[in-house]
Structure 1
């Protein structure tokens, strides 16, 4: 049995950053406001190094 979120409760969502998540909610009839956001570019060296390793640089 597939249950949609909108069947359980009427939702209104403010989505920050993950556009695909907002799209999936909208497909289920959820009212969504999407805010385009990304983390600040100026990161501490250790965090930037970790992110580069994850990205394969």
Structure 2
């Protein structure tokens, strides 16, 4: 098994979810990175999630 430091000898490839500024910082450092514009359903609002869940169950 390679020591943890072996990870730092490899080219970094990143999938970034959400924070676009993190993506921008990595891109500016020539890191291979893709950005996924992900946001929680209903903005993470529990009440809205519950209501959406009820609508999803109806046909």
Q: TM-score, normalised by structure 2?
A: 0.55
Unaligned runs of 5+ in 1: 1-7, 46-57
**Matched residues in 1 for 2:18 and 2:30: separation?**
20
**Matched residues in 2 for 1:29 and 1:10: separation?**
11
**Matched residues in 2 for 1:18 and 1:11: separation?**
18
Q: Which has more radius of gyration?
A: 2
Unaligned runs of 5+ in 2: 1-8, 48-59
Residue in 2 aligned with 1:29? 30
Instruction: List structure 1 runs of 4+ shifted beyond 4 angstroms.
Output: none
Cα-Cα RMSD = 2.1
Q: TM-score, normalised by structure 1?
A: 0.57
Residue in 1 aligned with 2:57? none
